[in-house]
Amino acid sequence: MLTTDNLDTRRRWEGIAFLILFALTIPAANWLIGNAGTKCVPNGPCLIPVAPGLMAPSGVTMIGIALVLRDLAQRRLGVGVAAGAILAGAALSALVAPPALVVASAAAFLLSELADFAVYTPLARRRLIMAVVASSLVGLVVDSIVFLWLAFGSLDFLAGQVVGKSWMVLLSIPFVAWLRRRDERTGMASA
Protein backbone atom coordinates (compact mmCIF):
# COMPACT_ATOMS: atom_id res chain seq x y z
CA MET A 1 0.00 0.00 0.00
CA LEU A 2 1.22 3.47 -0.86
CA THR A 3 1.84 5.89 1.99
CA THR A 4 1.07 9.58 1.80
CA ASP A 5 4.78 10.31 1.38
CA ASN A 6 5.03 7.78 -1.47
CA LEU A 7 1.96 9.30 -3.15
CA ASP A 8 3.40 12.80 -2.81
CA THR A 9 6.72 11.64 -4.27
CA ARG A 10 5.00 9.87 -7.16
CA ARG A 11 2.79 12.92 -7.79
CA ARG A 12 5.82 15.20 -7.87
CA TRP A 13 7.84 12.93 -10.23
CA GLU A 14 4.90 12.44 -12.56
CA GLY A 15 4.33 16.20 -12.59
CA ILE A 16 7.99 16.82 -13.40
CA ALA A 17 7.80 14.27 -16.23
CA PHE A 18 4.65 15.95 -17.64
CA LEU A 19 6.34 19.35 -17.33
CA ILE A 20 9.50 18.19 -19.14
CA LEU A 21 7.48 16.58 -21.92
CA PHE A 22 5.39 19.78 -22.16
CA ALA A 23 8.58 21.84 -22.54
CA LEU A 24 9.92 19.48 -25.22
CA THR A 25 6.78 19.87 -27.35
CA ILE A 26 7.65 23.52 -27.98
CA PRO A 27 10.97 23.08 -29.81
CA ALA A 28 9.62 19.91 -31.43
CA ALA A 29 6.64 21.79 -32.91
CA ASN A 30 8.86 24.59 -34.17
CA TRP A 31 11.31 22.14 -35.73
CA LEU A 32 8.56 20.04 -37.34
CA ILE A 33 6.81 23.00 -38.96
CA GLY A 34 9.95 23.95 -40.85
CA ASN A 35 11.50 20.55 -41.50
CA ALA A 36 9.11 17.61 -41.62
CA GLY A 37 6.04 16.88 -43.65
CA THR A 38 4.75 15.21 -46.74
CA LYS A 39 4.85 18.58 -48.50
CA CYS A 40 6.79 21.75 -47.63
CA VAL A 41 5.44 25.04 -48.97
CA PRO A 42 8.16 27.51 -50.11
CA ASN A 43 8.39 30.26 -47.45
CA GLY A 44 5.64 28.44 -45.57
CA PRO A 45 5.07 25.44 -43.37
CA CYS A 46 5.74 21.76 -43.95
CA LEU A 47 2.38 20.00 -44.13
CA ILE A 48 0.99 16.61 -43.11
CA PRO A 49 -2.37 15.01 -43.94
CA VAL A 50 -4.76 15.05 -40.96
CA ALA A 51 -7.87 13.77 -42.75
CA PRO A 52 -8.73 12.85 -46.33
CA GLY A 53 -8.07 15.95 -48.42
CA LEU A 54 -7.09 18.02 -45.37
CA MET A 55 -3.54 19.19 -44.67
CA ALA A 56 -2.06 21.00 -41.67
CA PRO A 57 1.32 22.36 -40.63
CA SER A 58 3.24 19.45 -39.09
CA GLY A 59 3.69 21.11 -35.69
CA VAL A 60 0.02 20.43 -34.93
CA THR A 61 0.89 17.06 -33.46
CA MET A 62 3.06 18.58 -30.75
CA ILE A 63 0.68 21.43 -29.94
CA GLY A 64 -2.26 19.06 -29.42
CA ILE A 65 -0.15 17.06 -26.98
CA ALA A 66 1.22 20.23 -25.30
CA LEU A 67 -2.28 21.30 -24.29
CA VAL A 68 -2.93 17.95 -22.59
CA LEU A 69 0.50 17.83 -20.93
CA ARG A 70 0.00 21.30 -19.46
CA ASP A 71 -3.25 20.13 -17.90
CA LEU A 72 -1.58 17.04 -16.46
CA ALA A 73 1.33 19.09 -15.11
CA GLN A 74 -1.20 21.34 -13.37
CA ARG A 75 -2.97 18.29 -11.94
CA ARG A 76 0.28 17.05 -10.42
CA LEU A 77 2.17 20.23 -9.54
CA GLY A 78 -0.55 22.84 -9.04
CA VAL A 79 -1.85 26.04 -10.58
CA GLY A 80 1.24 28.12 -9.78
CA VAL A 81 3.60 25.75 -11.57
CA ALA A 82 1.24 25.53 -14.55
CA ALA A 83 1.04 29.32 -14.82
CA GLY A 84 4.83 29.56 -14.62
CA ALA A 85 5.16 26.84 -17.25
CA ILE A 86 2.94 28.84 -19.62
CA LEU A 87 5.15 31.92 -19.28
CA ALA A 88 8.34 29.87 -19.57
CA GLY A 89 6.90 28.05 -22.57
CA ALA A 90 6.09 31.30 -24.35
CA ALA A 91 9.66 32.51 -23.73
CA LEU A 92 11.08 29.16 -24.88
CA SER A 93 8.86 29.27 -27.93
CA ALA A 94 10.28 32.69 -28.81
CA LEU A 95 13.83 31.41 -28.33
CA VAL A 96 13.52 28.27 -30.44
CA ALA A 97 11.14 29.42 -33.17
CA PRO A 98 12.63 30.33 -36.54
CA PRO A 99 13.04 34.14 -36.69
CA ALA A 100 10.06 34.54 -39.04
CA LEU A 101 7.82 32.65 -36.61
CA VAL A 102 8.99 34.03 -33.23
CA VAL A 103 6.10 36.43 -32.58
CA ALA A 104 3.49 34.07 -34.01
CA SER A 105 4.78 31.08 -32.07
CA ALA A 106 5.17 32.88 -28.73
CA ALA A 107 1.85 34.76 -28.98
CA ALA A 108 -0.11 31.69 -30.09
CA PHE A 109 1.45 29.59 -27.34
CA LEU A 110 0.81 32.15 -24.60
CA LEU A 111 -2.78 32.90 -25.60
CA SER A 112 -3.77 29.28 -26.25
CA GLU A 113 -2.27 28.03 -22.99
CA LEU A 114 -3.97 30.81 -21.02
CA ALA A 115 -7.29 29.89 -22.66
CA ASP A 116 -6.67 26.21 -21.86
CA PHE A 117 -5.78 27.15 -18.27
CA ALA A 118 -8.95 29.26 -17.87
CA VAL A 119 -11.21 26.40 -18.98
CA TYR A 120 -9.34 23.50 -17.33
CA THR A 121 -8.91 24.95 -13.84
CA PRO A 122 -12.57 25.26 -12.80
CA LEU A 123 -13.57 21.90 -14.34
CA ALA A 124 -10.67 19.67 -13.29
CA ARG A 125 -11.68 18.64 -9.78
CA ARG A 126 -14.99 17.11 -10.77
CA ARG A 127 -14.67 16.09 -14.41
CA LEU A 128 -11.05 15.48 -15.41
CA ILE A 129 -11.66 14.05 -18.87
CA MET A 130 -14.19 16.75 -19.76
CA ALA A 131 -11.78 19.38 -18.39
CA VAL A 132 -8.89 18.09 -20.52
CA VAL A 133 -10.98 17.79 -23.68
CA ALA A 134 -12.85 21.11 -23.31
CA SER A 135 -9.77 23.11 -22.34
CA SER A 136 -7.67 21.53 -25.09
CA LEU A 137 -10.31 22.24 -27.72
CA VAL A 138 -10.52 25.89 -26.68
CA GLY A 139 -6.74 26.15 -26.56
CA LEU A 140 -6.19 24.51 -29.93
CA VAL A 141 -8.68 26.80 -31.69
CA VAL A 142 -7.07 29.89 -30.15
CA ASP A 143 -3.58 28.59 -30.99
CA SER A 144 -4.58 27.82 -34.58
CA ILE A 145 -6.15 31.19 -35.28
CA VAL A 146 -3.42 33.27 -33.65
CA PHE A 147 -0.51 31.28 -35.10
CA LEU A 148 -1.82 31.07 -38.66
CA TRP A 149 -2.81 34.72 -38.79
CA LEU A 150 0.43 36.05 -37.32
CA ALA A 151 2.77 33.61 -39.08
CA PHE A 152 1.20 33.49 -42.53
CA GLY A 153 -1.45 36.24 -42.64
CA SER A 154 -3.99 33.60 -43.60
CA LEU A 155 -6.35 31.12 -42.02
CA ASP A 156 -6.08 28.74 -44.98
CA PHE A 157 -4.93 25.83 -42.82
CA LEU A 158 -7.36 26.50 -39.92
CA ALA A 159 -9.51 23.41 -40.46
CA GLY A 160 -6.42 21.21 -40.77
CA GLN A 161 -4.88 22.74 -37.65
CA VAL A 162 -8.02 22.13 -35.60
CA VAL A 163 -8.45 18.56 -36.87
CA GLY A 164 -4.75 17.68 -36.43
CA LYS A 165 -4.57 18.97 -32.87
CA SER A 166 -7.93 17.39 -32.03
CA TRP A 167 -6.57 13.98 -33.09
CA MET A 168 -3.80 14.31 -30.54
CA VAL A 169 -6.24 15.31 -27.79
CA LEU A 170 -8.53 12.39 -28.65
CA LEU A 171 -5.59 9.98 -28.64
CA SER A 172 -4.71 11.14 -25.12
CA ILE A 173 -8.15 10.37 -23.64
CA PRO A 174 -7.44 6.70 -22.77
CA PHE A 175 -4.32 7.74 -20.87
CA VAL A 176 -6.12 10.54 -19.03
CA ALA A 177 -8.98 8.15 -18.14
CA TRP A 178 -6.49 5.58 -16.85
CA LEU A 179 -4.70 8.26 -14.83
CA ARG A 180 -7.98 9.45 -13.31
CA ARG A 181 -9.00 5.89 -12.33
CA ARG A 182 -5.60 5.21 -10.82
CA ASP A 183 -5.66 8.49 -8.93
CA GLU A 184 -9.09 7.69 -7.49
CA ARG A 185 -7.92 4.24 -6.38
CA THR A 186 -4.76 5.53 -4.73
CA GLY A 187 -6.10 8.81 -3.36
CA MET A 188 -3.97 10.98 -5.67
CA ALA A 189 -6.85 12.85 -7.29
CA SER A 190 -6.57 16.65 -7.37
CA ALA A 191 -6.60 19.55 -9.79
Q: What is the mean pLDDT of residues 31-49?
A: 86
Band (pLDDT 50/70/90 cuts) for residue 145 is very high
Cβ atoms of 150 and 107 within 8 Å: the answer is: yes
Is the separation of the CB atoms in 60 and 47 below 8 Å?
A: no
Report, as an integer, the average pLDDT of 42-48.
Answer: 84
Determine the pLDDT at residue 95. Answer: 74
For helices 102-123 and 128-152, what crossing angle results, to 10°?
160
Mean pLDDT across 19-47 = 85
- Identify the CA nearest to 71 among candidates 27, 14, 31: 14
- Give the rounded percent of residues in the chain with a pLDDT score beyond 70: 93
Q: Tell me if 188 sits within 8 A of 7, measured CB to CB.
A: yes
**Cβ neighbours of 62 (radius 10 Å):** 21
Cα–Cα distance for residue pair 44/181, rounded to 1 Å: 43
| Residue 186 main-chain phi, psi, to 5 deg | -100, -5
The DSSP annotation for 18-38 comes to HHHHHHHHHHHHHHHHHH-SS
SS3 for 50-104 is EECCEEEECCHHHHHHHHHHHHHHHHHHCHHHHHHHHHHHHHHHHHHCCHHHHHH
Give which of 173, 166, 175, 174 is closest to 61, Cα–Cα.
166
Write down the domain spans for the chain: 4-186
pLDDT of 51 = 93
pLDDT of residue 83: 75
Residue 153 has a pLDDT of 87
Whether the pLDDT of residue 70 is over 90: the answer is no
Q: Please return the burial class of 157, using the count of CB atoms within 10 Å of its CB with bins 0-12, 13-18 and 19+.
A: buried
Residue pLDDT, tens place only, 161-173: 899 989 998 999 9
Three-state DSSP state, 116: helix
Computed on alpha carbons and rounded to an integer, the radius of gyration of the chain in Å comes to: 17
Q: How confident is the model at residue 191 (pLDDT cuts 50, 70, 90)?
A: very low
pLDDT of residue 92: 75
Tens-place pLDDT, residues 78-130: 888 877 877 777 677 777 767 767 788 778 878 888 888 889 888 887 788 88
